[in-house]
Amino acid sequence: MTAAQAATPPVLQLEQVARRRAGRAAVQDLSLSLAPGQVLGLLGVNGAGKSTTLAMIAGALRPDSGSIHLNGDDFLEQPELARRLIGWLPERAPVWPELTVTEHLDAHARLRGLRGDALRGAREAIVERLELLPLARRLAGALSQGQRQRLGLACALLHRPALLVLDEPANALDPVQVGALRKLIREQATAGTAVILSTHVLVEVTAVCDRVAILHEGRLRHEGPVRADDHAALERRFFEIAMQARAA
């Protein structure tokens, strides 16, 4: 973390957040914070609570207890903060199958409060940045999973959010697209956007993240900085946590 990042208030602050799902504790006593320009990787095995955590941060799900603050404002009291502050790419990038890619982007932009020239400008910029022009008139229902993922990412980035929440963003992307995604995440961070992404892939974390948080059975088991040459240490830590929990 840079000195400037440490000095600015966190974009995201989670305190003692808990949520039950399907009769079990999906997330328990989770506290995290994220400064502008930071990239946090959320690691964990299947069912660790990553998607539930991200859905709560994105405002799609309310926590049972605890607090979430966005730029110092109580997000649970003001869910409308999500409109301008958060961009969310959920797992499997859901779409309205009967709308074209352009119609999708327009609908998302309007839901986020963009109008007229601002809407057109934002749409053209994101279409160019994510190379969506050849897909612009295609129906979302006819896109491949990788293309849907890119469309979902475009919708998340369209309104230039302060916090980008990405749930398994590299799913179904080919290696070239994964490389482009990593570049895009780093660009966003450089521009001051805080990014939180969940993944199973450890190399994803060492490639793009400044910090890592490891969740297991809904609890935060590890949090710390990541170095690009730290892959082996991170892998060791991850398996230690998974094995300890299994032994317990």
Partner 1 sequence: MSLVAMFRLEVRRLRVQPLAWVLLALSLAWLGWGFTRLLGDFLAGEIKRAALPDGPGYVDLVAVPLLGQLAQLAFLVVPLLAMSTLAGERRNGTLPLLFAAGVPASRIVLGKYFALLLWLLLWLLLTLAMPLSLAHATTPDWGKLAAATLGIALMLAALTALTVAASAFTPHPALAAVLGLLIGLALWTVNLGAQMAGLNGGAINWLAMSTHEQNLLRGLVSTTDILWFVLLIAVCLALAARRLAADRERG
Residues that bind partner 1 (CB under 8 A): 19, 21, 52, 55, 58-62, 79-83, 86, 88, 90, 92, 94-99, 103, 107-108, 110-113, 155
Please list, residue by residue across 119-138, b when 16 or more beta carbons sit within 10 angstroms of its beta carbon and e when fewer do: beebbeebbeebebeebeee
In the bound state with partner 1, the residue whose beta carbon lies nearer, of 43 and 155, is: 155
Question: Of the candidates 57, 29, 30, 141, which has an alpha carbon nearest to the alpha carbon of residue 93?
Answer: 141
Instruction: Report the run of H or E that residue 166 belongs to, with start and end.
Output: strand 163-167
**Using only C-alpha atoms, what is the Rg of the chain?**
18
Q: In whole angstroms, give the CA distance from residue 52 to residue 44.
A: 12
Q: In whole angstroms, give the CA distance from residue 193 to residue 48.
A: 26
Q: Minimal distance in Å, beta carbon 51 to partner 1?
A: 10
Q: Minimal distance in Å, beta carbon 137 to partner 1?
A: 12
Q: Minimal distance in Å, beta carbon 12 to partner 1?
A: 14
In the bound state with partner 1, the residue whose beta carbon lies nearer, of 47 and 90, is: 90
In the bound state with partner 1, the residue whose beta carbon lies nearer, of 22 and 176, is: 22
In the bound state with partner 1, the residue whose beta carbon lies nearer, of 112 and 123, is: 112
Q: Minimal distance in Å, beta carbon 128 to partner 1?
A: 23
